[in-house]
Amino acid sequence: MELKDKVAVVTGGASGLGEAVVREFVAAGASVAIFDRDKTHGAALAQELGGRVNFHRVDVTEEASVTAALEAAAEPVGLHICVNCAGVANPGKILDRQGNALPLSDYEAVIRINLIGTFNVMSKAAAWMSRNDKIDGEERGVIINTSSGAAYEGQIGQCAYASSKNGVIGLNLPAARELQRHGIRVNAIAPGLFLTPMAQSLGDEVVEAISQTIESPRRLGRPDEFAHCCRFIVENAYLNGETVRLDAATRLTAK
């Protein structure tokens, strides 16, 4: 599917990897709806990029919020692409230093945003895509979900995050199989360590130390490289039901 003249939704699109996807898609000729809770950065990005970008303040865990935003984004020409980047890391050990168990609410909060939020937007976006005419007689829509290298090698303190991102991988194949009759492809990207605003806030020395743990190239990934991978997935109609590890061959250690 070509991006030109298509309509895309990007959750978490106000910053980081999501912002890079928004910029990539707009440059390729798509119209993009940014779904994010950060009104300040989201609205500023939409204003910067012009008339083909709109911002919608959305909580991906709330059905009414997502339903209303999708209706506004998809009318009147429909929805073709959905990229789910919204997520949180929120580290927390199963037992703290005093032997106290992690509050269930802390675990649940990560699962609710990263996994349930992804499914919430994915399912409702798929309903809109199913109404499209098929492009080249094959597809009506493309969904890209964001997993993580932690889904494979979760580190200490990442039980909630790793299990939520492993759940995103688990969505891929059954969703791709189910939605094929509607002409909708479903894939995921499992990024490694990327130079997002969160990573930059750690400081140059910490970023350099992290970079030395990466295989090749020995640097943090650039958000535009993630965005380029999203574009490749959209444009390659034969890629379906897969998780792409975008991590410079890096495998995470225990800590």
* Residue 193 is assigned to a structural domain of this protein: yes
Confidence check: pLDDT of 176 > 80? yes
**Model's pTM, two decimal places?**
0.95
Least Cα distance to 247 among 172, 155, 151 occurs for 151
Q: Which of the four pLDDT bands, split at 50, 70 and 90, describes residue 65?
A: very high
pLDDT tens for residues 161-174? 999 999 999 999 99
For residues 54-80, average pLDDT: 96
Catalytic site residues?
161
- C-alpha dihedral sign at 221, 222, 227, 228: negative
The enclosing domain of 112 has a CATH number of 3.40.50.720
For residues 7-12, average pLDDT: 98
pLDDT tens for residues 195-231? 888 777 667 886 787 888 899 999 999 999 999 999 9
* Residue 198 is assigned to a structural domain of this protein: yes
| DSSP assignment of the chain | ---TT-EEEEETTTSHHHHHHHHHHHHTT-EEEEEES-HHHHHHHHHHH-TTEEEEE--TT-HHHHHHHHHHHHTTT---EEEE---------SB-TT-PBPPHHHHHHHHIIIIIHHHHHHHHHHHHHTTSPPBTTTBSEEEEEE--GGGTSPPTT-HHHHHHHHHHHHHHHHHHHHHGGGTEEEEEEEE-SB--HHHHTT-HHHHHHHHTT--SS-SPBPHHHHHHHHHHHHH-TT--S-EEEESTT------
The domain in which residue 169 lies consists of: 7-246
* Residue 254 is assigned to a structural domain of this protein: no
Characterise 203 by phi-psi region: left (phi > 0), alpha (psi -120 to 50), beta (else): left
* Residue 255 is assigned to a structural domain of this protein: no
* Residue 1 is assigned to a structural domain of this protein: no
- C-alpha dihedral sign at 148, 151, 156, 161: positive
Per-residue pLDDT at 202: 61
* Residue 203 is assigned to a structural domain of this protein: yes
* Residue 206 is assigned to a structural domain of this protein: yes
* Residue 253 is assigned to a structural domain of this protein: no
Domain count within the chain: 1
Q: How far is CA 63 from CA 28, 56, 77, 163, 190, in A?
A: 30, 14, 22, 22, 25
